[in-house]
Structure formats: structure tokens, C-alpha cells
């Protein structure tokens, strides 16, 4: 089992809808979880961090963490074409003491 | 701008060349990282430095040699690379090794 898994997509969502991105991880004791956005040809940009179970909202973005199910998700409300990018889930693996990235989900928002 | 800069932004080199990539962070962070990103592959962690000490070498070939003279600067020395080493090389920094990482713009490397 991969340490961090994401559906590579592509995921297509109509403009104005909610985009839902999912990520699972294998290390039960992980405490730190991050979502990055990467536009084509650019470097990853941190958009959300979450450390506790439940939801964390920042503008149109909501991160959801369920440690019991080892699952973290990112919801994007009122999706815009500018949200089209690859979204990377990253989990700090306590045992290995390093941040491990998923392969990323490519999201396309259709006008 | 994330406060992490990288130079050069683009580099083309032959297999017998020696070149260096430079990274500088202006965030007062204590940890710095080198990642490799190839097309259609996940980010690959190469090296980690924490308080200038190397704490991770992720089975990287010796033709890649990192150097961290202080907590603000990180170099990646390249020597006798192969065409499959062509990729985007990303530098990142964080306050500590478990914290949020901030990435530089990357160096797009092409090895001929």
C-alpha cells in the first residue's frame, strides 16, 4: 500500500459546482496534513494545512480530516476555471520523519 | 512569492558538464529540501537538511551532491548527469521538519 494515495484523475467539474478531492494515507499516527495546488509548469503552492479531525474552512476551500478512516479531503466551493490545476495531498509520516506527497489529482473546471 | 528563490530557472547541460543549482530562503526556516519532479510522477524527495545537517538521502545517485553552508542556502551540485535526470528540481523550506513546506519556483533541467 502506498503511503499516500490519490486518484490521479482527471476530474472534471462544471464551473460553480463543488469539486471534491480525496486522499488516503497508511500511517495511523500521522498528525500533519497539507494540500498543495500546482499549476502546469509551476511549483506547488500550499493552500491548506489541517492537524485535527473535522473541517477547516478558508474561503472557498474546506479541508476535512478523519484520522480513524485515515482519510483527508479538499472541497472547493463555487469552482472557477482558475482552480484548474493538479492538487497534491501531503502527509507527514511520523515514523519516517518526512513529508510524503501523493501523485496528485488533476482537476479541470469547465466553463 | 514564497520567500524561496532558486537559480537558474532553466538549465541545459551535457552529460559531461558540472553545474550547480542554488536555493535561498528568506523565511528564517531551519529545514531545507531538494525534490525532483519528473513528468507524470509524484514528487520525489532527494535530500533533507535540518539545522544545516543532512538528515535524509533518499537513495540518490552520487552524481547529485548537496551542500548546505548555512540554514538559508542550499546547493545541488550536478556532475556527469544522464538524460533521465532531466526534470524540474524544486527546493523547499520549513520552520521544522514536520511543518508546512514552502517551495521555490524550481529549476527546469534538461540533460542532453
Q: How far is B16 from chain A (nearest CA, A)?
A: 27
B-contacting residues in A 46-105 (Cβ below 8 Å): 46, 49, 88, 90, 92, 97-104
What does the pLDDT read at residue B74? Answer: 97
Q: Note whether B81 and B13 are within 8 A (CB).
A: yes
- Is A1's pLDDT higher than 80? no
Give A49's contacts (C-beta < 8 A, 6+ positions apart): A32, A33, A34, A35, A63, B100
Q: What's the average model confidence in pLDDT over B43-53? A: 91
Question: How far, in Å, CA of B97 to CA of A94, rounded?
Answer: 10
Nearest chain A residue to B36 by CA: give it. Answer: A43
Q: What's the average model confidence in pLDDT over B69-76? A: 95
Candidates A31, A97, A100; nearest CB to B97:
A97
Question: How far, in Å, CA of B46 to CA of B89, rounded?
Answer: 10
Percent share of chain B, pLDDT over 70? 100
- Is B89's pLDDT higher than 80? yes
Question: Confidence band (pLDDT; 50, 70, 90) for A65?
Answer: very high
What does the pLDDT read at residue A8? Answer: 84
Question: Confidence band (pLDDT; 50, 70, 90) for B40?
Answer: confident
Please list every residue in chain B whose beta carbon sits closer than 8 Å to the beta carbon of residue A35: none
Chain centre to alpha carbon of residue B92: 8
What does the pLDDT read at residue B110? Answer: 96
What does the pLDDT read at residue B107? Answer: 98
Mean pLDDT, rounded, of chain B: 94
Mean pLDDT, rounded, of chain A: 94
Please list every residue in chain B whose beta carbon sits closer than 8 Å to the beta carbon of residue A95: none
Question: pLDDT digit string (tens) for B16-28?
Answer: 889 999 999 999 9
Neighbours of A72 (CB within 10 A): 27
What does the pLDDT read at residue A59? Answer: 97
Cis amide leading into A38 (omega within 30): no
What does the DSSP assignment read for B36-84?
A: EE-TTS--EEEEEEETTEEEEE-S--TTEEEEEEETTEEEEEEES--GG
Question: pLDDT digit string (tens) for A15-39?
Answer: 999 999 999 999 888 889 999 999 9
What does the pLDDT read at residue B41? Answer: 84
Burial code (b: 16+ CB inside 10 Å, e: under 16) for B84-96 equals: ebbbbbbbbbbee
Amino acid at each position: 500500500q502506498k503511503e499516500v494515495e490519490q486518484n490521479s484523475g482527471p476530474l472534471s467539474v462544471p464551473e460553480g459546482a463543488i469539486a471534491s478531492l480525496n486522499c488516503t494515507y497508511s500511517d495511523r499516527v500521522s498528525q500533519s496534513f497539507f494540500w498543495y495546488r500546482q499549476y502546469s509548469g509551476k511549483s506547488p503552492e500550499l493552500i491548506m494545512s489541517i492537524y485535527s479531525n473535522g473541517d477547516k474552512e478558508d474561503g472557498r476551500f474546506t479541508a476535512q480530516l478523519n484520522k480513524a478512516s485515515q482519510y483527508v479531503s479538499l472541497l472547493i466551493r463555487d469552482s472557477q476555471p482558475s482552480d484548474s490545476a493538479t492538487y497534491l495531498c501531503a502527509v507527514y509520516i511520523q515514523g519516517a520523519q518526512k513529508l510524503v506527497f501523493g501523485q496528485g489529482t488533476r482537476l479541470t473546471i469547465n466553463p | 512569492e514564497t520567500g524561496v528563490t532558486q537559480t537558474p530557472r532553466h538549465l541545459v547541460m551535457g552529460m559531461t558538464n558540472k553545474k550547480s543549482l542554488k536555493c535561498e530562503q528568506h523565511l528564517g526556516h531551519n529545514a531545507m529540501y531538494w525534490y525532483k519532479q519528473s513528468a507524470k510522477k509524484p514528487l520525489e524527495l532527494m535530500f533533507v537538511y535540518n539545522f544545516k545537517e543532512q538528515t535524509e538521502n533518499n537513495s540518490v545517485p552520487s552524481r547529485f551532491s548537496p551542500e548546505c553552508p548555512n540554514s538559508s542556502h542550499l546547493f545541488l551540485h550536478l556532475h556527469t548527469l544522464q538524460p533521465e535526470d532531466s526534470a524540474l528540481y524544486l527546493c523547499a523550506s520549513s520552520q521544522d521538519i514536520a511543518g508546512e513546506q514552502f517551495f521555490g519556483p524550481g529549476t527546469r533541467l534538461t540533460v542532453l
